[in-house]
């Protein structure tokens, strides 16, 4: 619920014109940094942690995703402040981080299938761009229909009040996320991307005064939802596994973050961003939390030999990178990003 609320808020705050100007780097940021981090685990985890290459790939897939819970609300705040928006930095990070999770979770499914003795299904990899496209298209279509519904209700003398609009948008968002499960095995679909695309459509085709009020209401909802989200992420973290990880795991996490930074810089190659803005993108792509808390224990539940170690490293990565990324974004954004004119 909390993720849906912040994704709606993000979509209502996202300027599609700025996002179009960002273009290619946003696409690269959705998979290149995560690919580099997974590759770092495949190359170095067998030496540092004594696991096989395939187990290292499973670990890398768990650790490869950036945390939308940490990144998205901060990018929304920067867009509202107009900081870095002329260069499209918050929009770039927001778009990349939203697609990053889809890519990593598909890889995780493939690697765990291999680790259990199965084979890689190429259809799963084909499903990555398909799920992104179907999510965006479905969200835009639903958003357009919502705009028409609100306009029709107004013209018929049945105006839908702000609080009712919030409930309608939330209810439809839950349906979009549920549709991802309903269509599993039939059509790849990213429900969370559909939610953000729907909110973007409301901003694009809706009345500006209405979308501004909606954005304000969802901003107030996020104050409570943020507390719930981070309490639940914290509750999912079993601190006992941290002690099992050891110093080698800390070295592996930091080494993987350095390799990930190279992936971010390569994704930004050829852009007009200066070194300060590129450094900010590297910092913004550090935090882990939501995805790691959700799937970190899955290899252990599957009975994989590396399961306990994967969970230990995932817990440790959350404890290191979530505060590091959050504090890093908050403390450097004013020095590294330019305010709007």
- Which sequence spans correspond to the domains of the chain? 2-336
Per-residue pLDDT, 170: 92
169, two tokens: 């948008």
Segment 246-253 shows an average pLDDT of 91
pLDDT at 121: 60
Distances (CA, A) of 172 to 5, 168, 176, 178, 191: 12, 6, 6, 10, 11
Evaluate if residue 151 carries a pLDDT over 90: no
Euclidean distance between CA atoms 299 and 108, whole angstroms: 10
Report whether 83 contacts 334 (CB < 8 A). yes
Length of the chain: 341
pLDDT for the residue numbered 143: 93
pLDDT at position 226 over 60? yes
298 — pLDDT class (breaks 50, 70, 90): confident
Answer for the pair 221, 5: CB distance below 8 angstroms, yes or no: yes
* 47, 94, 109, 157, 173 from 41: Cα distances, Å: 10, 25, 17, 60, 35
Split at pLDDT 50, 70, 90, the class of 44 is: very high
Q: How far apart are CA 303 and CA 169, in angstroms?
A: 40
Q: Is the pLDDT reported for residue 184 higher than 70?
A: yes
Give the domain 2-336 fold: Na+/H+ antiporter like fold (1.20.1530)
- pLDDT reported for residue 233: 67
Looking up tokens 């490869």, which residue turns up? 64
Lowest mean pLDDT among 9-13, 176-180, 261-265, 271-275: 9-13
Average pLDDT, the chain: 84
Give this prediction's pTM: 0.77
Is residue 227 over pLDDT 90?
no
pLDDT greater than 60 at residue 283: yes
Q: Helix or strand or coil: residue 14?
A: coil
Rg of the chain's alpha carbons, rounded to an integer? 20
pLDDT digits (tens, 9 = 90+) for 91-145: 889 888 877 877 887 788 778 878 877 555 666 667 777 887 888 899 999 999 9
Q: Give 17's pLDDT tier (boundaries 50, 70, 90).
A: low
Residue 186 has pLDDT above 90, yes or no: no
């Amino acid at each position: 619920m909390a993720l849906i609320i912040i994704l709606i808020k993000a979509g209502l705050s996202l300027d599609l014109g700025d996002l179009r100007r960002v273009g290619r780097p946003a696409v690269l940021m959705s998979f290149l940094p995560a690919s580099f981090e997974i590759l770092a685990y495949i190359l170095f985890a067998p030496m540092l942690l004594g696991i096989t290459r395939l187990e290292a790939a499973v670990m890398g897939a768990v650790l490869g995703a950036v945390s939308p819970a940490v990144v998205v609300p901060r990018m929304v705040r920067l867009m509202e402040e107009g900081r870095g928006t002329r260069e499209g930095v918050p929009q770039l990070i927001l778009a990349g981080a939203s697609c990053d999770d889809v890519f990593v979770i598909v890889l995780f499914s493939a690697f765990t299938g291999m680790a259990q003795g199965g084979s890689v299904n190429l259809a799963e990899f084909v499903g990555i761009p398909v799920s992104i496209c179907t999510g965006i298209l479905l969200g835009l279509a639903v958003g357009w229909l919502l705009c028409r519904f609100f306009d029709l209700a107004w013209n018929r003398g049945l105006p839908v009040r702000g609080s009712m609009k919030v409930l309608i948008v939330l209810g439809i968002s839950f349906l979009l996320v549920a549709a991802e499960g309903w269509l599993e095995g039939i059509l790849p679909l990213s429900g969370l991307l559909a939610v953000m695309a729907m909110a973007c459509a409301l901003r694009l085709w809706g009345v500006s005064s209405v979308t501004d009020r909606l954005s304000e209401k969802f901003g107030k909802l996020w104050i409570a939802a943020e507390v719930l989200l981070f309490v639940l992420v914290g509750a999912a973290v079993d601190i006992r596994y941290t002690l099992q990880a050891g110093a080698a795991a800390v070295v592996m996490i930091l080494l993987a973050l350095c390799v990930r930074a190279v992936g971010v810089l390569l994704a930004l190659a050829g852009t007009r961003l200066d070194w300060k803005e590129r450094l900010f993108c590297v910092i913004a792509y550090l935090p882990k939390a939501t995805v790691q808390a959700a799937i970190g224990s899955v290899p252990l539940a599957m009975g994989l030999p590396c399961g306990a170690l994967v969970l230990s490293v995932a817990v440790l990565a959350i404890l290191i990178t979530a505060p590091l990324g959050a504090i890093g974004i908050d403390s450097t954004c004013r020095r590294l990003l330019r305010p709007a004119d």
